[in-house]
Amino acid sequence: MSEKNRDGKRTARERMQEERAAQEAKARRNKKLIVGGSVLAVIAVAAVVGVMVQNNRSKPETPVAAPAGTIGDKNLVIPVGSANAPSTLTVYEDPRCPACGAFEREFGPTIDQLEDQGKLFVNYHIVSFIDRAVPGKGSRYGANALGCAQDAGHFRDYHDVLYRNQPDETNDAFGNKATLIALAKPIPGLDTPAFQACVNDNAFSGWVSAVQQDFDKSNFKSTPTVLLNGGPVYPKMGTEEITPANLVKWVDAANQGKPLGTPGTNGQSPAPTSTASETNNPSPGTGG
Amino acid sequence: MAGQQDAPSHPHTATRPVGGALRRVADGPAGEWIGTVVRLALAVVWGWAGLAKISDPAEAAQAVRAYEILPESLVKPVGYALPFLEVALAVLLLIGLGVRVVAVVSALLLLTFIAGITSAWVRGISIDCGCFGGGGTVDASQTEYLQEILRDTGFLLLAAWLVYRPRTRLSADAWLAA
For A30-78, write each residue's pLDDT tens digit.
999 999 999 999 999 999 999 999 999 998 899 989 999 999 999 999 9
Contacts of A47 in chain B (CB under 8 A): 81, 84-85, 88
More confident residue, B139 or A102: A102
| Res B71 pLDDT > 90 | yes
Three-state DSSP class for residue A91: strand
Residue B13 DSSP one-character state: G
A129-151 burial, b for 16+ CB within 10 Å, e for fewer? bbbbbbebbbbbbbbbbbbbbbb
Q: How many CB atoms lie within 10 A of CB A14?
A: 10
* Residue B79: closest CA among B110, B56, B103: B56
Interface test with A, best of B53, B74, B78, B80 (most A CBs within 10 A): B80
Are B57 and A58 in contact (CB < 8 Å)? yes
Where does the pLDDT of residue B155 fall: very low under 50, low under 70, confident under 90, or very high at 90 and above?
A: very high
Q: How far apart are CA A253 and CA A238, in angstroms?
A: 15
Query: What is the pLDDT at residue B14?
Result: 47
| Res A205 pLDDT > 50 | yes
Residue A165 DSSP one-character state: T
> Where does residue A275 rank: exposed (0-12), middle (13-18), buried (19+ CB within 10 A)?
middle
Are A129 and B135 in contact (CB < 8 Å)? no
Query: What is the pLDDT at residue A277?
Result: 37
CA–CA distance from A137 to each of A62, A64, A76, A94, B135 (Å)?
Answer: 22, 21, 20, 12, 16
Closest CA of chain A from B59, distance in Å: 7
Are A221 and B126 in contact (CB < 8 Å)? yes
| Res A275 pLDDT > 90 | no
* Residue A264: closest CA among A81, A120, A71: A81
Contacts of A38 in chain B (CB under 8 A): 97-98
Smallest Cβ–Cβ distance between A43 and the set B59, B62, B88 belongs to B88
Alpha-carbon torsion, ordered A91, A92, A94, A99, to 10 deg: -70
> DSSP letters along B65-130, please?
HTT--S-HHHHHHHHHHHHHHHHHHHHHHHHTSSHHHHHHHHHHHHHHHHHHHHHHHHHT--EE--
Contacts of B60 in chain A (CB under 8 A): 54
- By the CB < 8 Å criterion, does A221 face chain B? yes
For B49-58, write each residue's pLDDT tens digit.
999 999 999 9
| Res A273 pLDDT > 90 | no
Do the strands A120-126 and A87-93 form a parallel or antiparallel pair, or are they unpaired?
parallel
| Res B22 pLDDT > 80 | no
Where does the pLDDT of residue A265 fall: very low under 50, low under 70, confident under 90, or very high at 90 and above?
A: low
Contacts of B153 (CB under 8 A, 6+ apart): B114
Query: What is the pLDDT at residue B142?
Result: 87
Shortest CA distance from A60: residue in chain B: B58
Shortest CA distance from A209: residue in chain B: B58
Residue A189 DSSP one-character state: T
Q: Find out whether A95 and A166 touch, Cβ atoms under 8 Å.
A: yes
Q: How far apart are CA B140 and CA A236, in angstroms?
A: 18
Q: Find out whether A74 and A265 touch, Cβ atoms under 8 Å.
A: no
Are A51 and B80 in contact (CB < 8 Å)? yes
Q: Find out whether B159 and B42 touch, Cβ atoms under 8 Å.
A: yes
Query: What is the pLDDT at residue A18?
Result: 92
Q: Find out whether A137 and A175 touch, Cβ atoms under 8 Å.
A: yes
Do the strands A78-80 and A120-126 form a parallel or antiparallel pair, or are they unpaired?
antiparallel
Closest CA of chain B from A246, distance in Å: 26
More confident residue, B133 or A287: B133
pTM: 0.81
Percent of chain A with pLDDT over 90: 81
Are B84 and A53 in contact (CB < 8 Å)? yes
**Cis link prior to B83 (omega < 30° from 0)?**
no
Smallest Cβ–Cβ distance between A216 and the set B62, B81, B97 belongs to B62
